[in-house]
């Protein structure tokens, strides 16, 4: 392990809807500075894991520590990119306005965003290649552009840990390339990124850390060590052959 | 009395002035707060709340024995809040969906309220009649104190709205994200829902239990059509609401036997209809016009692209060709050709046409792929 400091430490995390467990007794250690994929079949609890870490869903047991402290004390260090489909894109607002929302957390209650916040939002828009669309109504953006806006909103938060729920869902190849480039830059700058990911083909190319999840934690570690047929089969239940060059 | 007489009386007749001011303020506050219901996709919550207020009115009468508006509305407020609370906890604690919870509470409370009303009507008490005015409202009973209360509530809700503008906007757009930024979404939810309940209760006297939700939804739905900015939408919704109130009161005061509440709601519904048809960009008419205009433009370009392909076969792009070689299969009509000449894309000499440099460029651009978003 190139970095011994833990960004996230999860112990015995269990989440259930009624009596049905969605996540069962998860232990997970995520070192600082990794770009990590969470993979697993539909219903494996990937999004739920992120939401439980972020306190959006209340776990029935377990603890989550971010840099050694509870999440509530570390909010400022954490940014979240929800699934694109969770919001109403016909909401009456502009791209710039959505990105500005990333500054609201550091502003706190009541205080309004000013020139400084506007400036950092514009910088984030430029970073994701969307500056030209800053005044565009958000419903008039393509799926890929909307995803870029969500990424920009998280970038503005200037966090140490980024949680992303399927950032590549429904985006074209250009946007996927653009997003992964930014994610790798963030990792190289020492940030920790946790990404719910569906495309197994691209895991070795994009990520250096991976967690296999299917209600239980199957395996977690460096991609080069644990991204293999054995773990894929354990996670997906079928005999899996990785036709990928590692 | 006709409408012009009404407006001349408006400033001299005290009662009429009070009623008009009351309905205007009510319309404004409902439009403002209704925007939040509409954008949170909780449009039916208002309907459930207003119906849930009915048993509160009846119980307040049974307990106090008076028909003083303030006591009755206090009862309405309590039972409205209770209904809202139940709806929210049903959704949270059972697997029932939002619409089911709304329907359940709405009919349960309204049924109980109706039961109490019929019970009250049979009481041997001279003071009993008149509670049923809360079903459809009776603007004529508005007193100046009622209007003061409305203005007070409007002022406070406007203040809170401006104070928590940033947080409320965030909550409307992305509640989960709001939570991760450290804002207490429960508090914000209670705040905005509380004001919506308050506005509904204030409107019961004027518009009544049954139609109250239209006062919340119609101005907001109409306003959404005209703008893509939240602040403008809320402002417009308030204006539309106030306008419905004033015009509705005017129409009902100038005709006999037209009760004010339903007329106000119909005026608001008229605004919705107008907005759906005539709003720029989102309106049906504008979309239709855009469709035809685009089709025409496309036809022009289709003809131009045929010319472009013909011209490509020659060294000189402006080499003249016979008009005859263009035919209907390529979307060509004489009119199209004239349009193309107007745009300086082609030149026509006798029965020959030739492409201009500008036209050639235009056709070339037409074949370029869409402006792709930047790769970074």
Residue range A57-95, pLDDT digits in tens: 999 999 999 999 999 999 999 999 999 999 999 999 999
Exposed / middle / buried, residue B375 (Cβ in 10 Å: 0-12, 13-18, 19+): exposed
Q: Which two tokens stand for residue A42?
A: 């539909």
Residue B183 to residue A104, Cβ atoms within 8 A: yes
Q: What is the pLDDT of residues B131-152, one digit of tens each?
A: 888 998 888 889 999 999 999 9
Q: Which two tokens stand for residue A85?
A: 């489909």
> pLDDT band at residue A118, thresholds of 50, 70 and 90?
very high
| Widest distance between CA atoms in chain A | 56
Q: In this predicted model, which residue has the larger pLDDT, B42 or B329?
A: B42
For A113, phi then psi, to 5°, come to -65, 145
Q: Which two tokens stand for residue A166?
A: 């399927």
The kind and range of the H/E element at B195 are helix B185-204
Distance (Å, rounded) from C-alpha B303 to C-alpha B334?
11
Length of chain A: 246
- Please determine, for residue A127, whether its predicted confidence score (pLDDT) is greater than 90: yes
Q: Which of B180, B220, B232 to mutate to test binding with chain A, by most A CBs within 10 Å of its CB?
A: B180
Angle at which helices B230-254 and B14-39 cross, to 10°:
140
Residue with tokens 């209670």: B190
Closest residue in chain B to residue A106, using alpha carbons only: B181
Mean pLDDT of chain A: 92
Residues B118-141, mean pLDDT to the nearest whole number: 81
Residues A143-151, mean pLDDT to the nearest whole number: 94
Cα B111 from chain centre: 29
- For residues B199 and B216, the answer to whether their CB atoms sit within 8 Å is yes
Residue with tokens 């998860």: A26
- For residues B208 and B137, the answer to whether their CB atoms sit within 8 Å is yes
pLDDT at residue B312, as a whole number: 79
> pLDDT band at residue A153, thresholds of 50, 70 and 90?
very high
CA distance A228 to chain B (A): 32
- For residues A131 and A125, the answer to whether their CB atoms sit within 8 Å is yes
B170 CB neighbours in chain A (<8 A) are: 101, 104
Distance (Å, rounded) from C-alpha B226 to C-alpha B214?
19
pLDDT at residue A129, as a whole number: 92
Residues B30-55, mean pLDDT to the nearest whole number: 93
Closest residue in chain B to residue A173, using alpha carbons only: B375
Measured at the alpha carbon of residue B144, what is the angle toward residues B143 and B147, in degrees to the nearest 5? 95
Cα torsion angle, A71, A75, A79, A82, sign: positive
Q: Which of A92, A180, A186 to mutate to test binding with chain B, by most B CBs within 10 Å of its CB?
A: A92
Is the backbone of residue A177 left (phi > 0), alpha (psi -120 to 50) or beta? alpha
pTM metric for this prediction = 0.88
- For residues B108 and B119, the answer to whether their CB atoms sit within 8 Å is no
Nearest to A237 by CA among A216, A208, A210: A216
Nearest to B79 by CA among B51, B47, B121, B120: B51
> pLDDT band at residue A170, thresholds of 50, 70 and 90?
confident
Model ipTM value: 0.93
Distance (Å, rounded) from C-alpha B336 to C-alpha B326?
11
- Please determine, for residue B317, whether its predicted confidence score (pLDDT) is greater than 80: no
Sequence-distant (≥ 6) Cβ neighbours of residue A236 within 8 angstroms: A40, A41, A214
pLDDT at residue B221, as a whole number: 96
Length of chain B: 376
Among partner residues A109, A111, A128, which is closest to B376 by beta-carbon distance?
A128
Residue A213's beta-bridge partner residues?
A217
Count other C-beta atoms under 10 Å from residue B129's C-beta.
11
Among partner residues B165, B173, B179, which is closest to A91 by beta-carbon distance?
B173
Count other C-beta atoms under 10 Å from residue B80's C-beta.
29
Closest residue in chain B to residue A93, using alpha carbons only: B229
> pLDDT band at residue A206, thresholds of 50, 70 and 90?
very high
- Please determine, for residue B322, whether its predicted confidence score (pLDDT) is greater than 90: no
> pLDDT band at residue B155, thresholds of 50, 70 and 90?
very high
Q: What is the pLDDT of residues A6-62, one digit of tens each?
A: 999 999 999 998 778 899 999 999 999 999 999 999 989 999 999 999 999 999 999
- Please determine, for residue B182, whether its predicted confidence score (pLDDT) is greater than 50: yes
> pLDDT band at residue A1, thresholds of 50, 70 and 90?
very low
Is the backbone of residue B66 left (phi > 0), alpha (psi -120 to 50) or beta? beta
- For residues B139 and B261, the answer to whether their CB atoms sit within 8 Å is yes
Torsion of CA B325, B328, B331, B334, to 10 degrees: 80
Sequence-distant (≥ 6) Cβ neighbours of residue B175 within 8 angstroms: B185
Chain A contact residues (CB < 8 Å to B): 18, 51, 54-56, 75, 78, 80, 82, 86-88, 91-94, 98, 101, 104-105, 107-113, 127-130, 132-133, 137, 139, 142, 144-145, 148, 174-175, 177-178, 181-182
Closest residue in chain A to residue B168, using alpha carbons only: A110
Nearest to A108 by CA among B173, B164, B190: B164
Count other C-beta atoms under 10 Å from residue A69's C-beta.
10
**DSSP label at A245?**
-
Count other C-beta atoms under 10 Å from residue B216's C-beta.
32
> pLDDT band at residue A245, thresholds of 50, 70 and 90?
very low
Residue with tokens 């013909």: B310
According to DSSP, the β-strands at A161-165 and A78-81 are: parallel
- For residues A80 and B221, the answer to whether their CB atoms sit within 8 Å is no
B181 CB neighbours in chain A (<8 A) are: 75, 104-105
Torsion of CA A98, A100, A103, A105, to 10 degrees: -40
- Please determine, for residue A242, whether its predicted confidence score (pLDDT) is greater than 60: no
- Please determine, for residue B296, whether its predicted confidence score (pLDDT) is greater than 90: no
The mean-pLDDT minimum among A1-5, A66-70, B64-68, B112-116 falls in A1-5
A18 CB neighbours in chain B (<8 A) are: 95
Cα torsion angle, A118, A122, A127, A128, sign: positive
CA distance A159 to chain B (A): 11
Q: Which two tokens stand for residue A112?
A: 């309004």
**DSSP label at B28?**
H
How would you write A198-233 as a 3-class SS string?
A: CCHHHHHHHCCEEEEEECEEEEEEEHHHHCCHHHHH
Residue A105 to residue B181, Cβ atoms within 8 A: yes
């Amino acid at each position: 392990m190139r970095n011994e400091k833990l960004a996230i430490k999860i112990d015995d995390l269990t989440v259930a809807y009624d009596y049905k467990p969605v996540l069962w007794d998860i232990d997970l250690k995520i070192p600082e500075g990794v770009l990590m994929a969470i993979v697993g079949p539909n219903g494996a609890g990937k999004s739920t894991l992120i939401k439980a870490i972020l306190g959006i869903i209340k776990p029935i047991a377990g603890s989550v520590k971010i840099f050694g402290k509870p999440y509530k004390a570390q909010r400022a260090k954490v940014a979240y990119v929800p699934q694109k489909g969770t919001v109403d894109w016909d909401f009456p607002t502009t791209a710039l306005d959505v990105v500005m929302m990333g500054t609201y957390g550091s502003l706190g209650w009541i205080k309004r965003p000013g020139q400084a916040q506007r400036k950092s939002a514009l910088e984030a828009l430029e970073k994701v290649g969307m500056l030209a669309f800053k005044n565009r109504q958000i419903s008039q953006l393509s799926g890929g552009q909307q995803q870029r806006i969500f990424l920009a909103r998280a970038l503005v938060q200037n966090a140490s840990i980024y949680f992303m729920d399927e950032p590549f869902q429904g985006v074209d190849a250009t946007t996927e390339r653009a997003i992964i480039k930014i994610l790798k830059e963030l990792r190289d700058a020492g940030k920790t990124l946790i990404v719910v990911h569906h495309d197994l083909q691209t895991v070795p190319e994009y990520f250096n850390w991976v967690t296999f999840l299917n209600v239980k934690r199957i395996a977690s570690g460096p991609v080069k060590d644990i991204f293999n047929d054995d773990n894929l089969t354990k996670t997906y239940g079928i005999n899996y052959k990785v036709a990928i060059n590692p | 009395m006709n409408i012009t007489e009404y407006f001349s009386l408006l400033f001299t007749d005290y009662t009429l002035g009070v009623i008009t001011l009351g309905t205007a303020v009510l319309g404004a506050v409902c439009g403002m707060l209704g925007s939040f219901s509409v954008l949170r996709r909780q449009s039916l919550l208002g309907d459930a709340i207003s119906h849930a207020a009915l048993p509160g009115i009846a119980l307040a009468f049974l307990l106090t024995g008076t028909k003083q508006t303030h006591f009755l509305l206090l009862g309405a407020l309590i039972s409205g809040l209770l209904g809202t609370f139940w709806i929210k906890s049903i959704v949270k604690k059972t697997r029932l969906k939002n619409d089911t919870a709304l329907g359940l509470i709405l009919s349960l409370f309204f049924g109980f309220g109706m039961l109490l009303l019929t019970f009250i009507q049979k009481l041997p008490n001279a003071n009993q009649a008149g509670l049923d005015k809360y079903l459809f409202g009776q603007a004529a009973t508005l007193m100046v104190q009622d209007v003061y209360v409305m203005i007070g509530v409007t002022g406070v809700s406007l203040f809170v709205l401006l104070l928590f503008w940033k947080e409320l906007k965030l909550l409307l757009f992305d509640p989960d994200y709001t939570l991760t930024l450290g804002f207490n979404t429960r508090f914000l939810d209670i705040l905005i829902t509380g004001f919506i309940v308050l506005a509904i209760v204030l409107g019961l006297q004027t518009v009544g239990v049954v139609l109250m939700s239209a006062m919340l939804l119609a101005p907001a739905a109409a306003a959404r059509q005209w703008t893509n900015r939240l602040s403008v939408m809320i402002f417009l919704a308030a204006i539309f609401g106030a306008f419905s109130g004033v015009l509705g009161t005017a129409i009902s005061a100038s005709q006999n036997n037209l009760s004010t509440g339903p007329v106000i709601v119909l005026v608001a519904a008229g605004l919705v209809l107008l907005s759906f048809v005539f709003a720029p960009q989102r309106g049906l008419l504008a979309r239709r016009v855009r469709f035809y205009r685009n089709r025409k433009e496309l036809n022009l370009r289709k003809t131009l692209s045929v010319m472009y392909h013909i011209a490509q076969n020659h060294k000189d792009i402006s080499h003249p060709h016979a008009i005859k070689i263009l035919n209907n299969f390529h979307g060509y009509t004489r009119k199209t050709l004239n349009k193309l000449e107007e745009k300086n894309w082609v030149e026509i000499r006798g029965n020959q046409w030739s492409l201009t440099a500008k036209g050639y460029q235009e056709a070339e651009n037409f074949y370029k792929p869409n402006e792709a978003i930047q790769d970074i």
